[in-house]
Amino acid sequence: MSLPGSTIAAPVTGSRPTSPRAHLFTAGTAEDYRRAVTQGIERVAARVTGVDRPGTGITPDELAPRVAGIDLDRPLGDTTAALDELHDVYLRDAVYFHHPRYLAHLNCPVVIPALLGEAVLSAVNSSLDTWDQSAGGTLIERRLVDWTAERIGFGPAAADGVFTSGGTQSNLQALLLAREEAYARIVGGGTDRPSRPEVLSRLRIITSTAGHFSVQKAAKLLGLGADAVLTVATDAGRRMRTDELAETLDRCRREGHTVMAVVATAGTTDFGTIDPLERIAEICTAVGVWLHVDAAYGCGLLVSPTRRHLLTGIERADSVTVDYHKSFFQPVSSSALIVRDRRVLRHATWHADYLNPARMAERRIPNQVDKSLQTTRRFDALKLWLTLRIMGADAVGALFDEVIDLAAAAWRLLADDPRFEVVTRSQLSTVVFRYLPPGVSRDVVDDANLYAREALAASGAALVAGTKVDGAHHLKLTLLNPETTLDDIAHVLDLIAEHAGWYARTRATAELSSPVG
């Protein structure tokens, strides 16, 4: 086979390529593309079939020398050899979210239609910034934004949005839009205009103590003061207290601060609880404050056949974060920011002569960069598109329902087990608990739970997360794999009790035998 513009033969897999051009994916190398990618897929499929633990418990100190020892200036020139090497530095010790005893963070196993999308989108490599780099990709993303807006309950004619890299970016963009709206309102058309720094120093954001830290990060990036984010307490169900929200709004008004946004969380990261959206929306409407709903986690309820009602009130938000890569079983990255009123997206617009001149917008050429914080941008929407076209929204929602049911069963299991104390029952799929044997000091309980988590991870038998509840160390299961069974969870709890119990007994013995005074 000869390559365009070259007389050099394309490489046969396994032999050293003779031309740099032979590595480009072009019409002439389609067969090499097919072979290389198939080899990679075979490796991953074999590894996923073979894993008997979610991780190997390898430490950075063990793995780092292997990665550091590779000479990046001496290519192997061969797909098979590179995949063998990759096995050593990555695939063998990777953390596998596919495994039923991966119970740690908000990572999901991914659906096959989305993986198909991933393969197509990276090979075609469309960039969704402008129509002239994407064509149909732009229209597909726009349809999915409209579809999501409709699921939220926004009027389709007015709503809009854009895909982003994740919940952090979606929240940042939402708060950027809210900041600019607040700024425009404050500065208005008056002649005695306060300076921009003065206005920014007066802006406040309110969220609950269980809100995601990306809100604080966004405030920092948006140039607000260090004290710009006010957190209000949660109730016994770990949901934002609306009486405190109202009081905080009132206090801000009295102190001359402008609340630029209230961020309600639909699916708190630790507790999987949903703030009272309807009541919060009423309060925000009454005082004319932007409501952002961070539904990064809870967005899966938009397609739940049985639990959509848990999001009632979301349709009254000004903006919503949805992370398809959390509860729609999509590969990272796949997220979107959806806004009720498309006009607010103008705050993310900048016209560049070389890319998206204003005349293009006048001619209604659909350039998504006009709404995005990014320029070059992946066609992540394709993954969701193929998911909806192959398996359908109800099937995605049914998978999410399964893990929510599992979390409820796990919560009951823990509530009935005297070895443990379990915290707030989740509306989604997390379970927060701790090992709590009687007669053990608070310090030992804290350390025993920390120890159990690390010992479990080191063995690779299971991965669970940790967090603090009211200052005390707890463990957390985030259930997003419908393949996980209650037996898996019971087994992991036994392992935790074994590790933590061993630690507590060893500490007690050491304290008894240590000299007093």
Ligand X SMILES: Cc1ncc(COP(=O)(O)O)c(C=O)c1O
Q: Which residues bind ligand X (CB under 6 A)?
A: 106, 166-168, 171, 212, 214, 265, 267, 269, 294, 296-297, 323, 335
- Residue closer to ligand X (CB basis): 296 or 396: 296
Q: How far is the CB of 5 from ligand X (least distance, A)?
A: 42
Q: Which tokens belong to 236?
A: 């016994």
Of 323 and 370, which has the nearer Cβ to ligand X?
Answer: 323
Residue 79 or 429: the one with the smaller Cβ distance to ligand X is: 429
204: nearest Cα among 258, 284, 245: 258
To ligand X, the closest distance from the beta carbon of 322 in angstroms equals: 10
Q: If 0-12 CB within 10 Å is exposed, 13-18 middle and 19+ buried, where does residue 437 land? A: middle
Name the minimum Å distance from CB 266 to ligand X. 8
Q: What is the DSSP string of 159-216?
A: -EEEEESSHHHHHHHHHHHHHHHHHHHHHTT-SSPPPHHHHHHHEEEEEETTS-THHH
In the bound state with ligand X, the residue whose beta carbon lies nearer, of 212 and 340, is: 212
Residue nearest to ligand X according to CB distances in the complex: 167
Nearer of residues 267 and 276 to ligand X, judged by Cβ = 267
DSSP one-letter code for 90: I
User: Smallest distance from the beta carbon of 131 to ligand X, in angstroms?
Assistant: 27
Distance separating alpha carbons of residues 144 and 161, to the nearest angstrom: 10
Q: What is the DSSP string of 293-360?
A: EEETTGGGGGG-TTTGGGGTTGGG-SEEEEEHHHHS-PPSS-EEEEESSGGGGGGG----TTT--HHH
Of residues 10 and 280, the one with the C-beta less far from ligand X: 280
Of the pair 182, 299, the CB lying nearest ligand X is at 299
**Residues written for the chain:** 517
Q: How far is the CB of 174 from ligand X (least distance, A)?
A: 11
Burial class (CB in 10 A: 0-12, 13-18, 19+), 401: buried
Bridge partner list, 36: none
> Which one, 133 or 321, has the nearer CB to ligand X?
321
Smallest distance, ligand X to C-beta of residue 326, A: 7
Smallest distance from ligand X to CB 379, Å: 18
Q: Closest approach of Cβ 355 to ligand X, in Å? A: 26
Torsion angles phi and psi, residue 67, rounded to 5: -70, -45
- Please provide the DSSP assignment of 414-427 as one string: HHT-TTEEE-S--S
